[in-house]
Amino acid sequence: DIDDVGHKYYLELELEDVLDKDRTVNCTAEVLYHLGSQTSAPDVQVTVQGELRSTEEADKEFYTHIRSLEKELVAENIPDSHGNVPPELEPIHLLAWVASGYVIWQNSTENTKFHLAQVKHVKQVKRSDEDLQFDYVVLLHDMVSQEVLPWEVTLLWHPQRGARVSRCQAAGAGD
């Protein structure tokens, strides 16, 4: 407890590489939830102790592939109702996790627990610069309230520059 500021948490985490189960990396983090404020995202500082796997090859392949598409990529329901993700959409799925991570961070409090439930829709938008752009509608499930809510997120990605969220907002009420 930090008087007049908020609550700070000190974390020791072990990261597991989803694509390489035997690979783990330790990290430490400090998370500060601001007092009272429902509108401000928590402050997060992370230190990764060790190295993350290089994905240069796969990144380049994906980048080249998407840039070479004649028609912009469009997909929906990833995974589908049965939990399937077609292999060619797996990178899109992974980028959705990145995009969701941002949204979750921006909207987390000590009383939320979000997970990406599903990518409802994704549309690639061709750009004149070198970034790839994906406009996502992601469904985020909050374990505490049990609500599954749609969010619109625009993600920019480049093999060297990495991922950036350029826009996010809660989508219109669902069903």
Partner 1 sequence: HQVLRIKTKNEEEIKQLQLLESLEHLELDFWINPSARALPVDVRIPAVSVQSVKAFLESQGIEYSILIEDLQDVLDKEKQDMAESAQRQRSSSSFDFGAYHTLDDINAELDHLASEYSFVEKIRIGESYEKRPLYVLKFSTGGSNRPAIWLDAGIHSREWVTQASALWIANKIASDYGTDASITSLLDKMDLFLLPVANPDGFVYTHTSNRMWRKTRSKIPGSICVGVDPNRNWDAGFGGPGASNKPCSDSYHGPSANSEVEVKSVVNFIKNHGNFKAFLTLHSYSQLLMYPYGYKCTRPDDYAELESLGRAAASSIRSLYGTTFQVGTICKTIYQASGGSIDWSYDNGIKYSFAFELRDTGRYGFLLPAKQIIPAAKETWLGLKKIMEYVRDKSS
**3-state DSSP: the chain helix, strand, coil percent, rounded to 5?**
20, 45, 35
With respect to partner 1, which residue has the nearer C-beta, 50 or 174?
A: 174
With respect to partner 1, which residue has the nearer C-beta, 54 or 146?
A: 146
Q: What is the distance between the alpha carbons of residues 164 and 161, in angstroms, rounded to a whole number?
A: 9
Q: Is residue 146 within the footprint of partner 1 (CB under 8 A)?
A: yes
Q: Give the binding range for partner 1 (CB under 8 A) out of 1-9, 41-49, 66-74, 115-123.
A: 115-123
With respect to partner 1, which residue has the nearer C-beta, 18 or 51?
A: 18
Q: What is the separation, in whole angstroms, between the first and last Cα of the chain?
A: 40
Are 106 and 132 in contact by the 8 Å Cβ rule? The answer is no
Are 28 and 11 in contact by the 8 Å Cβ rule? The answer is yes
Q: Give the binding range for partner 1 (CB under 8 A) out of 1-9, 81-89, 129-137, 161-169.
A: 81-89
Query: By the criterion CB under 8 A, which residues form the site for partner 1?
Result: 18, 77, 79-84, 115-118, 139, 141, 143-148, 174-175
